[in-house]
Structure 1
Amino acid sequence: MTQWVSANQIRANFSALMSEMYQNEVPLYGDLINLVEDVNQATLNQQPELKVQLENTGELPRLSQERHGAIRLGTAQELSQMRRIFAVMGMQPVGYYDLVPAGVPVHSTAFRAVNAEDLNQSPFRIFTSLLRLELIENKQLRQVAEDTLAKRQIFTAGALALTEKFEQQGGLNQEDAQQFVNEVLETFRWHTEAPVTQEVYQSLHDQHRLIADVVAFKGPHINHLTPRTLDIDAVQTGMQSRGIPQKAVVEGPPRRKCPILLRQTSFKALKEQVNFSDAQGSHTARFGEIEQRGVALKAKGRQLYDELLAKARQLLGRAPDEDNAVQYEQILAETFAAFPDDYATLANQELAYFYYLPQKNIDYAVTAADLTTLLAQGIVKIEPIVYEDFLPVSAAGIFQSNLGEDGQAQYQSVSNKDIFEKCLGAKVLNEIELYAQIEQQSINRCLEQLNQQIVVKA
C-alpha cells in the first residue's frame, strides 16, 4: 500500500523552503529572524509562566518555525488554482477580509490549517489577496491590466500536474511531495524581469502601487514573511537598535498582560531593481513583518475590540504615523483600559476562547453548567486559544506603510464576499465557528476526564 506524505509534512517542508528562499532574496529578513529568536528566548527566560502556558497549549515547539506570508493575485483563475494547491498542504480558506474601505483595492482570505493539532505541527499561513481590477478608473488602463494578466501563467506545469495527481489519488508519495514543494516554490519567487514597459508600470503605479505590484510582474512574489514573537515591543525597539528601518506604529491592540488577537509591525519595504521590457527601473513592495498573537475573541469580545479601536482612531483624528506615534500609543492604551486584562474575566464575561484543562480529581459528576465553579475552585484551569487569523485594519495599515504616502485611495465600490467566493470556487470558513469548535471539544474532553476520575468516598 502506498504511503502518502501527510499534508502537515508537506506544509512544513514548504514553509521551511519558503523562509530559506526569502532570506536569500531579502537578507534583512534573516536579520529579523535572528532578532525575533533573541527576543523570544529572553522573554521565555523572564516569564517562566508564559513558557508553561505555551507548553500546555502545544504552541512552544511550533514557535521557532511559525511563519505567515502574503501574496497578491490578479485573476479569479489564479485564486481558484491557488486554493487547489494549498489544499495539498492541508490549508483551507478561512475568513473574508475587505480592504477596499481602507483604500486598498483587494479582498482577501487566509489559507491555513484549521485543526488545533495540525496548526501546532505546522502553523504556516498565507494571507491571499485578489486584486479588484474593476476599481481601476481608467478604462483603457484597466484593459491593459486585464490583457497582461490573461497572458501569464503563475504556476509551473509540474505544480498543476502534481496537484491534479493529488486530487485523483488522494495523496502524494515522498518523491512527488518533494517535487510538488519545489514546483510550487517557483510561483513565489522574485523575478527581476517584468513583462510590461516602464510607462505601463508607471501608469499602474499612479493608480495604486499595489495594482502595479500585482499586474506588472510574472508572478505573485511573496511580499513578506512573518515570524511570531512573544514581545513585539521589544522587537520594535530592537529593530531600531540594530539598524533595521521599522514601521512607526505597531498595528492592533495595545500592550497588555493578556494579549488579545494580533499585533503586527514590519521593516519598511525595499527598493529593488526591475528590468522592464524597454528599460531598467525599480519597484518597492517586499518587506519583513513581525507578529505577536494573543487569545482569540468571541463575537462579543471582537465587537468591543472594534469599538475601542475605532474610538482610539477617532480621538487621534487621523491615521497613525511617525508624527503622532507616541500620542496614538497613549490614546490606545487609555481607550483599551475598558477591555478586561485577565484571563478569568475574559472567560467569565464570554469575551474570549479558551482550552479547559482538568487539574484535580473530584468525587461528584459535573456538567458544563459547573465550569465557572470548577474554575473558581482550581479543579479546572484555562489556557488561551491562540488567534490564528488576521485583522483587516491592521493588514491595511501594514500594506499602506509599505506602499508609501500614496498607498491609500478612496473607492466608491466595496468588496463583496459572494464575488470573492465565486472567484475562489469555494466558501470561506468562518473563523469564529472554528474557535468555538476547538473550545467546545476542549470542554467536552475536560468534563469527560473529570467524570472518569471520580474518586468514590469510602
Structure 2
Amino acid sequence: MNHPSFVSPDLIRQRFSRAMSDMYREEVPLYGALMELVEQTNRHVLDSNPLIAQQLVSTGEIERLDLERHGAIRVGTAQELATLARLFAVMGMQPVGYYDLSPAGVPVHSTAFRAVHEAALQVSPFRVFTSLLRLELIDDVELRAFAQSVLDQRSIFTPAALSLIERSETLGGLTEQEADEFVEQALETFRWHHSATVTAEQYQQLSAQHRLIADVVAFKGPHINHLTPRTLDIDIVQAQMPAHGITPKAVIEGPPRRQCPILLRQTSFKALDEPIAFTDQHQTRGSHSARFGEIEQRGAALTPKGRALYDRLLNAARDELKDFPSEANAARYNALMTQHFSEFPDTWEGMRHQGLAYFRYFVTEKNLDSNTLKSSTLDDLLSGGYLRLEPLVYEDFLPVSAAGIFQSNLGDAAQTHYGVHSNQHAFETALGRSTLDELALYEECQQRSIEHCLATLGKCL
C-alpha cells in the first residue's frame, strides 16, 4: 500500500501523458491538427451511434477516451532499456509482450510498457511501445563498433530523473512535489534534439545501413517518434486527413473495417523532414525524418484461438497480394483483406460462442432467485438477461502493423530483409526482467469480472 503522502503511480502516469502530449504538440504542429480531427470524428461517432456511446459509458471507457495515447521510443543499449523499465515502473507501467520486428525488415525488438489492471487503465491507458536496436544485425563490423561507441558515450536520463527513480524504488513512492519534478525531468529523455552527435558522413553511413539505425544512434536521446490518439472510426479519419493538410499512409494497418472491431487498426502521416546540425557543420544544413503522426482504433482483445485465426487470414491476404501493401496496390489489398476476413465472425455473440475474444461481464437489474443462480451456467445467466457482456479492449500491439507503420515512414528503400532472428531471451536479459504475457492478462481480467458478477448476484439474493 502506498504511503499517504505518496502520489499514486496511476496519477503520475496521467500527468506524464498530458505533459508528453503538450510537448509533442509544440514540437510537431501537425500533431495538433491530428488531435482536432480525432476529436471531431469521435464527437460525430458518439452523436450518430447511441449504441457505441452506451457501450463506452457502461464500461467506463468514455472517461479515458480523450486521455488515451500511446507513444513510441527507440533505444540503443541494454542499460538504456533497463533504466527505462525503472522509469516507467514509477508510473505503474510494466513491460507487456515481446515483438520481433526483424522479419519485417526493421532491426529492433520491442515491448509495450503499460498499466496491467483494468482499474489502473481507467485512470490512464498511456502506453509506450519501446524498441531496442539490434546492433548484431548490422553486418558491417566497423560500422557496428562505431555505433556501439557512440551509444556508449551518451546518457539519455537527467541526473535528477535517475535520483528520483532511485528514491521511488527505495521509499516506495514519490511525494506531490517529487512527482511533479519527476514528470518534468523524465520528459527530457523524450525531447527532440536539433543537433546530431555524429558527422554528416557518419550519419549517411548509418542511414545507408538502415534509416532507423541512424535515428537511434545519431542523437543525444531517443526522442519520441510519434504520439497516438484513439479514434472511434479510423476510416473517417483516413478519408478526412487530406482536407486537414495531412497526407495519410496508403493503407490502414490491421484488420479490415468490421461491425465489431477487433485488435488494432492504425494509420499515420509521413515522417517530417526536420533540419539538424551535424558535428562538422557550424550551421543547420542537414535533415532527418523520423517523427510522424499516428492514429489508432482499438477493438476487442482476441484469445489464442482468435489470434491464430486472425494471423491465418492476414497471412493469406498478404500472400495473395505478393507484395508490401502500398499506394499502388492499396485497393486490391483492402479487397483481399475484406474477402479473407469474411471467415471471422462479426458479432460479439459469434466471437464469444467460438471462444475467439475476451469479454467483461456485468450484472443487469433483472432479479434472480437463489435456485436459478445455483443451477445456472454463465451461458444461462447471459441468455436469461441476468448478465450482459462487453468486449475487452485490446491494449497491446501487432508486430506486422508496427513494422508496416515504421516502414511507411522510413521509405521503401528501408525494407531490408533480416530473416527470422527472434531473440526474446536476449531482450529480456537487457530489460532485466521477463515481459508479461498479454493473453494471460486478458484472461485474468475476464475471470475477475465473472467472479465479481457471481459475488454480486449472491449478495443480492
Counterparts of residues 225-236 of structure 1 (less than 5 Å):
225-236=227-238
Instruction: Tell me the distance in 2 between the aligned counterparts of 1:296 and 1:452.
Output: 30
Aligned match of 2:159: 157
Question: For each residue in 1:105-164, what CA deviation from the matched residue of structure 2 results, as whole angstroms up to 9, or x when unmatched?
Answer: 000000000010100110000000000001111101111000000000000000000000
Does the CA-based 8 Å contact 1:91-1:112 persist in structure 2? yes
**Residues 1:368 and 1:435: Cα distance change in structure 2 (over 3 Å):** farther
Q: CA RMSD in A?
A: 1.1
Choose which of 364, 367, 383 in structure 2 pairs with 1:361.
Answer: 367
1:413 Cα deviation after fit: 5.6
Question: For each residue in 1:328-365, what CA deviation from the matched residue of structure 2 results, as whole angstroms up to 9, or x when unmatched?
Answer: 11110111000000001111111100011121221125
**Residues 1:297 and 1:412: Cα distance change in structure 2 (over 3 Å):** closer
Instruction: Tell me the distance in 2 between the aligned counterparts of 1:142 and 1:419.
Output: 18
Higher mean alpha-carbon deviation, 403-412 vs 369-378, is at: 369-378
Instruction: Tell me the distance in 2 between the aligned counterparts of 1:227 and 1:407.
Output: 26
> What is the DSSP-based 3-state SS (H/G/I as helix, E as strand, rest coil) of the residue aligned with 1:446?
helix
Does the CA-based 8 Å contact 2:102-2:419 persist in structure 1? no
Choose which of 393, 401, 414 in structure 1 pairs with 2:408.
Answer: 401
> What is the DSSP-based 3-state SS (H/G/I as helix, E as strand, rest coil) of the residue aligned with 2:373?
coil
Does the CA-based 8 Å contact 1:104-1:396 persist in structure 2? yes
Instruction: Tell me the distance in 1 between the aligned counterparts of 2:298 and 2:414.
Output: 26
Instruction: Tell me the distance in 2 between the aligned counterparts of 1:165 and 1:244.
Output: 43
Report % sequence identity: 58
2:149 is the alignment partner of 1:142: no
Letter in 2 for 1:340: P
Structure 1 runs (4+) greater than 6 angstroms displaced? none
Choose which of 419, 429, 445 in structure 2 pairs with 1:438.
Answer: 445
Question: For each residue in 1:370-420, what CA deviation from the matched residue of structure 2 results, as whole angstroms up to 9, or x when unmatched?
Answer: 111222222211101100000000000000000011121111460311100
Letter in 2 for 1:170: G
1:203 Cα deviation after fit: 0.4
2:349 is the alignment partner of 1:344: yes
> What is the DSSP-based 3-state SS (H/G/I as helix, E as strand, rest coil) of the residue aligned with 1:406?
helix
Choose which of 425, 440, 450 in structure 2 pairs with 1:418.
Answer: 425
Aligned match of 1:329: 334
Instruction: Tell me the distance in 1 between the aligned counterparts of 2:191 and 2:164.
Output: 19
2:307 is the alignment partner of 1:305: no
Counterparts of residues 198-277 of structure 1 (less than 5 Å):
198-277=200-279
Counterparts of residues 15-414 of structure 1 (less than 5 Å):
15-279=17-281, 280-359=285-364, 360-363=366-369, 364-366=371-373, 370-412=377-419, 414=421
Letter in 2 for 1:361: N
Choose which of 432, 446, 450 in structure 1 pairs with 2:457.
Answer: 450
> What is the DSSP-based 3-state SS (H/G/I as helix, E as strand, rest coil) of the residue aligned with 1:202?
helix
1:447 Cα deviation after fit: 1.4
Letter in 1 for 2:217: V
2:429 is the alignment partner of 1:427: no
1:451 Cα deviation after fit: 2.5
Does the CA-based 8 Å contact 2:263-2:301 persist in structure 1? yes
Higher mean alpha-carbon deviation, 47-56 vs 33-42, is at: 47-56
**Residues 1:257 and 1:161: Cα distance change in structure 2 (over 3 Å):** same
**Residues 1:438 and 1:367: Cα distance change in structure 2 (over 3 Å):** farther
**Residues 1:368 and 1:67: Cα distance change in structure 2 (over 3 Å):** farther
**Residues 1:435 and 1:2: Cα distance change in structure 2 (over 3 Å):** closer
**Residues 1:14 and 1:367: Cα distance change in structure 2 (over 3 Å):** farther
Question: For each residue in 1:76-131, what CA deviation from the matched residue of structure 2 results, as whole angstroms up to 9, or x when unmatched?
Answer: 00000000000000000000001011110000000000010100110000000000
Q: Which runs of 5+ in 2 are unaligned?
A: none
**Residues 1:412 and 1:235: Cα distance change in structure 2 (over 3 Å):** closer
Does the CA-based 8 Å contact 1:194-1:216 persist in structure 2? yes
Question: For each residue in 1:243-302, what CA deviation from the matched residue of structure 2 results, as whole angstroms up to 9, or x when unmatched?
Answer: 201111000000000000000000110000010001330001100000000010000000
1:452 Cα deviation after fit: 2.4
Q: Which runs of 5+ in 1 are unaligned?
A: none
Letter in 2 for 1:272: E
Higher mean alpha-carbon deviation, 405-414 vs 221-230, is at: 405-414
Q: TM-score scaled by structure 1?
A: 0.98
Instruction: Tell me the distance in 2 between the aligned counterparts of 1:413 and 1:206.
Output: 21
Letter in 2 for 1:357: F
> What is the DSSP-based 3-state SS (H/G/I as helix, E as strand, rest coil) of the residue aligned with 1:65?
coil
Instruction: Tell me the distance in 2 between the aligned counterparts of 1:43 and 1:92.
Output: 32
Aligned pairs, number: 454
Instruction: Tell me the distance in 1 between the aligned counterparts of 2:376 and 2:83.
Output: 46
Question: For each residue in 1:230-250, what CA deviation from the matched residue of structure 2 results, as whole angstroms up to 9, or x when unmatched?
Answer: 000000011022220111100
Instruction: Tell me the distance in 2 between the aligned counterparts of 1:411 and 1:320.
Output: 19
Does the CA-based 8 Å contact 2:75-2:81 persist in structure 1? yes
Q: TM-score scaled by structure 2?
A: 0.97
1:211 Cα deviation after fit: 0.3
**Residues 1:367 and 1:317: Cα distance change in structure 2 (over 3 Å):** farther
